[in-house]
Structure 1
Amino acid sequence: MTLTPDLSAVSDAPRKSRKNNPEKTRENILQEAIVEFVQQGLSGARVDAIAERIHTSKRMIYYYFGSKEQLYVEVLEKLYGDIRNTESRMNLTALEPREAISRLVEFTFDHHDRNVDFVRIVCIENIHNAEYVKRSDSIKAMNSNILDALGTTLRRGAEMGLFREGLEPLDVHLLINSFCFYRVSNRHTFSEIFQIELSDKAVKQRHRQMICESVLRYLQT
């Protein structure tokens, strides 16, 4: 007896696999889109190249995201979401105020140092004058959460006599991120001009301690 293969089952297998795990498919597309946008920018990025990397079709990417621009928006949402979700798990408001600030500064420093793609994508978005951040309500909402936690920490610190009164959470957030972001976004030019290796372990540790102490001194009464 000759068995005839079920060709319909074979042809449907990849499709069923994708249907059964749509979140995994979306995640794979997003991860490869990050690589493409980082390397080529928004204008130079190609959906074809992303599709080739994950062995799928352009149609599949458009099915999940609609357009290259919407895919880019969701890349922004993912990258901002990753850092904000980790911050929320730190539960800063439950910590002693000085410890909370120290942990936030150290986390921000380490995150930016280890996640160069995040820094590059933010730089790309600034070239576009935050046009695509403006299209995302979720980015604004998730970023307000860290300001709320920071504000609570600053008020608690002031009530305990540890911090000055009237500190603005956004100002402190800017102070922390300006240093941590700059040393990654400008590392090539800064390193070449001033002949310093910012990736050196001892240099990183010194800078990490420096920004932590600088922020705490700014906050103190």
Structure 2
Amino acid sequence: MPAVPKRKAGPRDAERTRRAILDAALVEFSEKGHAAARMDAVAEAAGISKPMIYSYFGDKDALYAAALREAYVQIREGETELQLGDLAPVEAVRTLVHFTFDHFREKPWFISMLNTENLLGGETVRSIADVGDIQSNMISELSRVLDHGVREGVFRTGVDPVELYITIASLCYFPISNRHTLRAVFKVPVDDAWVEARKRAVSDMVLADLRPCGPREAGHA
């Protein structure tokens, strides 16, 4: 009987394989860091051969860069799906805070990947050609939300959207990234109810700072 010819992988198969590799790499690099991560483990988790990783991404450094980029892409895509521009300004900010908290908690590899990259001095993220473009849509959307809020009289003028996002990300990051030490040192539960309370508290703090008569403007009165 003649041998059955092997079917060539189509674009859909190639994308599925690429996705499997990236998903496995995100977990491997986030759990073990760049130095200790093993390509064998990525291949096993992705259900492919190790040489196939090199075929798709090249070496370990290139795979790490692709995984780091993917971590940014995932959170930016999630933010885009929020359609903040369709919401009232106050609701939009609250929605963004809640999403950011949830993303950090539900996708722990994001925080771990950023921690790893910062320990490496940010060398890899600087090499990602479109890293600025990946962030730009979210910053533009947040800028429109702020402008809308100013027009509605619910936000003060002069708020930098980048600085606002840094504030939001910082307040959402710490309780999740430090949850184990917070449990041990302060005996906080870090359970669902606690996280929901933190989301509300962070939203309230951010919105209080954005109000026209908020602490910053009042201080200059």
Give the structure-1-normalised TM-score: 0.90
CA distance in 1: counterparts of 2:171 and 2:95, whole angstroms: 16
Among 69, 82, 94, the alignment partner of 1:77 is 69
Among 139, 145, 153, the alignment partner of 1:153 is 145
**One-letter code aligned to 1:78:** E
CA distance in 2: counterparts of 1:89 and 1:60, whole angstroms: 32
8 A contact 1:42–1:72 mirrored in 2: yes
8 A contact 1:81–1:139 mirrored in 2: no
Q: Residues 17 and 195 of structure 1: is their aligned pair in 2 closer, same or farther, counting only changes over 3 Å?
A: same
Residue 46 (str. 1) matches residue 38 (str. 2): yes
**Structure 2: gaps spanning 5 or more residues:** 213-221
Corresponding position of 1:133 = 125
Corresponding position of 2:49 = 57
Q: Cα deviation per residue 1:111-142 (whole Å; 9 max; x = unaligned)?
A: 11111111111111111111111111222211
Corresponding position of 2:22 = 30
Corresponding position of 1:214 = 205
CA distance in 2: counterparts of 1:123 and 1:176, whole angstroms: 17
- Sequence identity (%): 35
Residue 7 (str. 1) matches residue 13 (str. 2): no
**One-letter code aligned to 1:208:** K
CA distance in 2: counterparts of 1:69 and 1:107, whole angstroms: 30
Corresponding position of 1:173 = 165
8 A contact 1:119–1:185 mirrored in 2: yes
Corresponding position of 2:188 = 196
Give the structure-2-normalised TM-score: 0.90
Q: Residues 20 and 79 of structure 1: is their aligned pair in 2 closer, same or farther, counting only changes over 3 Å?
A: closer
CA RMSD between the two structures = 1.6
Structure with the greater alpha carbon radius of gyration: 1
Corresponding position of 2:217 = none
CA distance in 2: counterparts of 1:154 and 1:53, whole angstroms: 43
8 A contact 2:31–2:109 mirrored in 1: no
Q: Cα deviation per residue 1:78-103 (whole Å; 9 max; x = unaligned)?
A: 11111111211222122211111111
What's the CA shift for 1:214?
0.6
**One-letter code aligned to 1:36:** E
CA distance in 2: counterparts of 1:24 and 1:166, whole angstroms: 45
8 A contact 1:84–1:142 mirrored in 2: yes
Corresponding position of 1:93 = 85
8 A contact 1:18–1:25 mirrored in 2: no
What's the CA shift for 1:167?
0.8
**Structure 1: gaps spanning 5 or more residues:** none
Aligned residues: 212
Residue 103 (str. 1) matches residue 95 (str. 2): yes
CA distance in 1: counterparts of 2:43 and 2:81, whole angstroms: 34
8 A contact 2:21–2:53 mirrored in 1: yes
SS in 2 for 1:134: helix
